[in-house]
Amino acid sequence: MSSYSGRTVGPYHLLEELGRGGMGVVYKGVDPRLERDVAVKVLAVGMVNDDAAKQRFLQEARSASALDHGNICTIYDIGETPENELYLVMAFYRGETLEQRIRREPFTSEDAILTISQIGDGLEAAHAVGIIHRDIKPANIMLTQDGGVKILDFGLAKLLGVQGLTQTGMAMGTVSYMSPEQARGEQLDHRTDIWSLGVVLYEMLSGELPFVGDSLAAVIHALQTARPRELSQLQSAIDPSVQTTIYRALSRERTSRFETVSDFIRSLSVDSSDETMITRSAPEFRLANVTVPEVSRPPKQSAVIPTRVVALPFRMLRPDEETDFLAFSLPDAITSSLHGLGSLVVRSSAVVASLPDLPPDLGEVGRVADVDVVLHGTLLRVKQRLQVSAELVAVPEGSVLWTERIQVPVDDVFDVQDMLAKRILTGLEIPLTAQEQARVGADVPTTGVAYEEFLRGNQLADQQADWSLAQASYLRCLDQAPDYAPAWARLGRVYWLQGKYDRSKTQRYFERADEAFSRALSLNPDLAIAHQFLTKFEVDVGRAEDAMIRLLEVLTRGINDPQVFGGLVHACRYCGLLDESISAHRVAKSLDPAVSTSVAQTYFQRGDFDWVIAQAGKSSPFIFPMALMALGRVDDAKSFLDTVADRGVAKHMMWAKHIALSVAENRAEDTLALVQEFIQDGINLPEELFNFGRVLSYQKQLDEALPLIQKAILEGYVVATQLERDEWLIPLRDHGGYEELKAQAGQRQSRARDAFEQAGGSSFLRPAKVPIERAAHYGE
């Protein structure tokens, strides 16, 4: 294959060769239209031999390009050179391959599991849409400079027909990571990637491959018959449970491996805990005719594998205006009462909201929600009594663990929540500490009328139509049950939201919110929803560091709740601790895939705009188009903004669209007028002020930009990273006062980091240890 260095292929200028392998040569290039660096892979001659194969390749390449995940390399384009050689255009990442990193030194268990988890996240996303990688190996994993992990060449093995060992020029290194069934040329499923991932993790920890040989044939023979060396002989610091997990991934019979990549990663994450060891009956590891029993464990604190449960909305057998709200509110209340108890992991029912079937297929619910058991049921009002039928079902097998039929007066519906929550705990045999036992049933109102008002308030608050109506329901609840902590927490939330979006109420309602949150936590210091809502309030009023410290203290008490980690995403970001914010997001998602966090803003703050576009998507009318513009994709941003309707959008969200559109159209005077208008209307919280200042800086309105950024920092939004790297702030750098702003932000960031360490943050959040020399799109 001739070199393309210095040549133009399609619209792309190829600058230098980055590497070559059996499938082709990769060049660093530039797309002059967008002034964007790209990686261009020109496929080796003979990889696609006829027109039919070429069309098949192009079709499959389009499918692979549709993969939209932060841990998968983005495919931008496909094309053909003048010499009729096909090429792929991909995102260009600065960093090193996992292969290069392993050559330097083996990983610690902690760093290896963190990295392998990100690879697993990408694989799981692909497997969910039926795409298998088939060529997972360290050379196909990129470790970016900002701590990210990207899977390269996704689906390329299939595109080029590499099912087994039939491909000309197959490298021995590639074969070393193949599953036995792939080496035999059999039909593959997603479990071939699980095998390869196990091989990669083995090598990361030991620096050696589990199956080796002096020739291709010898490696193939080892794959089918040999037993790898004990990891503990190669690396004594490896936890025996991690070795057991890897051995299961390397089971020769694919049915003995983990069923999903998520199961593999979860086993690693649980087994590697420093605090507890997990007792499980893992399958034996069979290689050749040798049976290796489960590795014995040192005597540590015993625990059970977490049981994951989701409570679905109940089905109303007959519509009833007075009780219809219970269909959603009752399972939500049951879920809230179970959070943080023992080894139970409680998923939000929002994760299955997209399923079309009613009633939904419980096996599909289990797969989508990633749970072991599902609670579902029906409600029927008969005069003044409520009939409740509930089932707890194990998934995917569908066995009914228990069935409960309850009939209570309508006014005593709160008894149903208490009874079903306790029934779940006893039915699943969840062991609880004495402190946890005391929490079960502690947050129950004293009257049925109070509980009905509480549930009705929850429904009104979620509808966001008029928060004052929800406020009235919560106050009526508290008139009847003044010691009901969840009602105080939710009342604090609606006070906060009304004060946030109605400037005339801000001071008065913020004071009420503070009092309500304090009352909730005085009644129940471990109430997760109180901590969740209080965090958002404290961040808004400039107390992000206090929120971060408080949440870390909650974790020290063993409250392992996804919303607590979600709050840390928000608080750490405001404190300028971006790695810690991302780490908190990963933990939150591992506990509940449906949990909502503000991590998109964290990645935006880091300058990882590709991630924002791929992951946050079009859900934000501000972040998404701003990320597009930061990458030079102004036309794409304008096209998106044209699709965002004003009708049905809350007033406090409309500023995002209109300011982004004025920036995209380079209407500087309109941007300034809009900023002033929205600030006058009360859109003036720290993060909003910074974003206003950022766009004004970009449009060279420096005298107006600097005070806004200064106020944002003074009110607790620590943007040290952006002040150092954000290209949209370059016009401000020579403006008087900018260096002083950087110093202020840096001092606040350092203080927050010290507070994080003193509160024990490192024991709960372990950010990637890859130094951030330059984020992907800042300061290039």
Q: What is the pLDDT of residues 526-576, one digit of tens each?
A: 888 899 999 999 999 999 999 999 999 998 887 778 889 999 999 999 999
Q: Is the pLDDT of residue 356 over 90?
A: no
Dihedral over alpha carbons 308, 123, 285, 234 (to 10 degrees): -110
Give helix 528-540 / helix 506-523 axis angle, nearest 10°. Answer: 150
pLDDT at position 355 is 60
- Residue 167 in this model has a pLDDT that exceeds 80: no
Task: Among 112-116, 253-257, 444-448, 548-552, name the one with the lowest average pLDDT.
Answer: 444-448
Give the C-alpha separation, 582 to 159, whole Å: 34
Q: What are the C-alpha distances in Å from 203 to residues 105, 114, 257, 265, 389?
A: 11, 15, 18, 16, 52
Topology (CATH) of 98-303: Transferase(Phosphotransferase); domain 1 (1.10.510)
So what's the pLDDT on residue 425? 73
Q: How far apart are CA 370 and CA 426, in angstroms?
A: 22
Q: Give dist(CA 258, CA 437) in Å, integer.
A: 34
Based on the number of CB atoms within 10 Å of its own CB, is 506 exposed (0-12), middle (13-18) or buried (19 or more)?
middle
- The DSSP annotation for 318-365 comes to S--TTTTTHHHHHHHHHHHHHTT-TTEEEEPGGGGTT---SSPPHHHH
Peptide bond into 359 cis (omega under 30): yes
At 766-779, the pLDDT tens digits run 654 433 333 333 33
- Which residue has 């606040």 as its token pair? 748
Taking the domains of the chain in order of start, what are their residue ranges? 1-92, 98-303, 307-545, 582-763
Region for 469 from its dihedrals, namely left if φ exceeds 0, alpha if ψ lies in -120 to 50, beta otherwise = alpha
Rg for the chain, CA atoms, rounded: 28
Angle 753-754-758 from CA coordinates, rounded to 5°:
120
Q: What is the pLDDT of residues 664-706, one digit of tens each?
A: 888 989 889 988 888 887 777 888 899 999 999 999 999 999 9
What crossing angle do the helices spanning 686-698 and 651-664 adopt, rounded to 10°?
20
CATH number of 1-92: 3.30.200.20
Q: What angle do CA 669, 670, 674 make, to 5 degrees?
A: 120
- Helix 485-501 to helix 651-664 angle (10° resolution) is 40
Q: CB neighbours of 118 closer than 8 A, spacing ≥ 6?
A: 71, 148, 149
Which residues, 6+ apart, have CB-to-CB distance to 44 below 8 Å?
Answer: 1, 22, 23, 24, 25, 169
Q: 166-196 burial by CB neighbour count: b if 16+ within 10 A, else e? A: ebeeeeeebbbbbbbbbbeeeebebbbbbbb
CATH number of 582-763: 1.25.40
**How does strand 8-9 pair with strand 95-97?**
unpaired
Which has more confidence, 546 or 656? 546
HEC secondary structure over 118-131:
HHHHHHHHHHHCCC
CATH architecture, domain defined by 307-545: 3-Layer(aba) Sandwich (3.40)
pLDDT digits 0-9 by tens, 598-612? 899 999 998 888 888
| Lowest mean pLDDT, pick from 138-142, 213-217, 415-419, 681-685 | 415-419
Residue 701 is predicted with a pLDDT of 92
Query: The tokens of 140 are what?
Result: 């196909």
User: Of the candidates 193, 91, 85, which has an alpha carbon nearest to the alpha carbon of residue 134?
Assistant: 193
Q: Return the minimum-mean-pLDDT range out of 239-243, 343-347, 728-732.
A: 343-347
The SS3 assignment for 595 reads coil
* Residue that wins the pLDDT comparison between 480 and 426: 480
In order, the DSSP letters of 507-546 are HHHHHHHHHHHHHHHHH-TT-HHHHHHHHHHHHHTT-HHH
